[in-house]
A and B are shown apart, each in its own frame.
Chain A
Amino acid sequence: METHERTEKCKEMFSLLSEYLNLELPPDACREIETHLAGCRPCIEFAESLRKTVELCRRYRPNEMPHPIGVQARDQLLEAYKKMLSGREIGP
């Protein structure tokens, strides 16, 4: 069984992982991380747990919902909308 120790590379990867997941790193840095991940099981396990966390956050919505909008509140919004429409400059 191959032995893995945490290296400086692991720590560097750890600090860049969100940018990597978001595809915000330059191609060279991405390749470097992928090369490291391919040979470092702890890092890939950690990366996978972070990826799942992000997926979870993206699908998460609180259970609380706003109460249905009241007639008065809707009228207030509609009035603001109509006022904006009537006051705007007519474009081409």
Chain B
Amino acid sequence: MPLTLNQTSEREEEADLARKLMAGEPEAFDRFVEHFRAKIFHYSWLMCGDREDAEEVAQETLIKVFENFDRLHEPERVRPWVFRIAKNACLMKRRKSIFAPSRELSLDEFLPAMNHEGGEAKLQIADWSRLPDDQLLQSEMKHVLDRAISELPANYKSVILLRDLEELSTAETAQILDLTDDVVKTRLHRARLAVRQKLDEYLRAEGRAAAPAEPARGDRDGNA
């Protein structure tokens, strides 16, 4: 079973829209607005936590995007280009740096405990293997994820939003946030670990964790 992740992307479609906009094709305008308005809204809503601000950031970003569209020389980079503008609009909106270093997350706080029972060391985590991918976004789980992401310190949240939700590359995220690649990697890992931990706590509390239909002999370690 491959553990590594496949990249998925709407980015070719976005690049195509950007080329059409530059060519002055009118139907591209509304599609571009609809697509990026929702994306920018989600990003700024998650960063700012305020609907009105998020609506305004989306509008202000799109105005700047259209005013400066002829400066976009590489249509395939339209997504990071738009998010760079959105990030700046978010900063202006809040009148303070929501991206400034806040609470630091350390790796050690996410290292799961080991449980030694019956001579075997077991991680004290939920049994994620029993969760089919298509069940992961059930409403309750989504609510937990909402909270887990919202509660991240802002400097970690901005990274996970761009890297995982928007699937921007490390280099693109670094450029948008004025960070080095290494800092992006570090913050992404810790943000993911923090989110994983919240989801794990939920799964364990829900009792979906370990217990198979017929508990295996000697396998009751209190993880459920």
Contacts and interface: CB of A to CB of B under 8 A. Distances in A.
Interface residues of B, number: 64
Contacts, number: 156
Contact of A56 (B33, B38, B145, B188): B145
Interface string B21-48: 1001000010001100110011001100
A9 interface: no
B69 A18 contact: no
Contact of A50 (B37, B38, B165, B192): B192
B3 A73 contact: no
Interface stretch (B56-64, B79-87, B88-96): B56-64
Q: How large is the interface on A (under 10, 10 to 19, 20 to 34, 35 or more residues)?
A: 35 or more
Q: Is the interface of B mostly helix, strand, loop or mixed?
A: helix
A77 to B, nearest CB: 5
A71 interface: no
Interface in A25-58: 37, 42, 44-58
Ordered nearest first, which 10 A-B pairs have the shortest CB separation?
A80-B66, A18-B189, A57-B164, A88-B70, A49-B128, A66-B41, A53-B196, A81-B66, A42-B123, A56-B136
Interface of B: 3-5, 8, 21, 24, 29, 33-34, 37-38, 41-42, 45-46, 51, 54-55, 58-59, 62-63, 66-70, 107, 111-112, 114, 119-123, 125-129, 131, 133, 136-137, 141-142, 145-146, 149, 160, 164-165, 167, 170, 185, 188-189, 192-193, 195-196, 199-200
